[in-house]
């Protein structure tokens, strides 16, 4: 039996797939892998991150709706800061700038055109734990 779980692929509810696809490509830097408004679903990716964008007709039987909140876990504070700078330059909707929080996450928040939120973070709690360990 496989002990490693696969990476999750979230479904992002959007009002118009073609409009959302343009935003995810041009402002957030995702690749459009397949699909579109006609089928009600599109697959997008960036690196190892994969997501599905779905329109209201596709989601009708499931009841999921906007807004959703997704967390994107990056590998360092620098990566968080660089992605924030990239998304700011491309005129993505930035909700809050990068900040190291008391709960040990360095994070910023961005939004898509439908109000779905992305909390982009780096968990630095392990750094502090390693500094407290004796050699």
Q: What is each CA distance from 35 to 41, 44, 55, 111, 118, in whole angstroms?
A: 6, 9, 11, 22, 22
Q: Name the more confident of 134 and 97.
A: 97
Q: Quick one: pLDDT at residue 63?
A: 82
Q: What is the mean pLDDT of residues 102-131?
A: 92
Task: For 95-122, give the secondary structure using H, E and C.
Answer: EEEEEECCCCEEEEEEECCCCCEEEEEE
Q: How far apart are the first and last CA of the chain?
A: 38
Cα separation, 80 vs 102, whole angstroms? 17
**How far apart, in Å, are the Cα atoms of 97 and each of 11, 44, 46, 72, 113?**
25, 25, 21, 15, 18
This prediction's pTM:
0.88
Give domain limits for the chain: 11-132
What pLDDT is recorded for position 115? 97
Fold that domain 11-132 belongs to in CATH: 2,3-Dihydroxybiphenyl 1,2-Dioxygenase; domain 1 (3.10.180)
Q: How confident is the model at residue 134 (pLDDT cuts 50, 70, 90)?
A: low
Percent helix, percent strand, percent coil in the chain, to nearest 5: 25, 35, 40
* pLDDT band at residue 132 under the 50/70/90 scheme: low
* Cα dihedral: 73, 27, 86, 8 (round 10): 10
Averaged pLDDT score across all residues of the chain: 93
pLDDT tens digit sequence for 67-95? 999 999 999 999 999 999 999 999 999 99
């Amino acid at each position: 039996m496989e002990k490693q779980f696969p990476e999750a692929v979230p479904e992002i509810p959007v009002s118009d797939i073609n409009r959302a696809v343009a935003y995810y490509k041009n402002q957030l830097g995702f690749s459009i892998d397949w699909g579109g408004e006609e089928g009600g679903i599109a697959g997008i990716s960036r690196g190892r991150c994969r997501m599905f964008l779905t329109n209201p007709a596709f989601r009708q039987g499931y009841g999921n709706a906007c807004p959703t909140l997704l967390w994107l876990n990056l590998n360092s504070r620098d990566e968080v800061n660089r992605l924030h700078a990239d998304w700011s330059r491309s005129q993505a909707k930035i909700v809050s700038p990068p900040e190291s929080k008391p709960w040990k996450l360095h994070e910023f928040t961005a939004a898509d055109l439908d109000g779905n939120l992305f909390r982009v973070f780096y968990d630095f709690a392990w750094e502090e734990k390693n500094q407290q360990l004796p050699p």
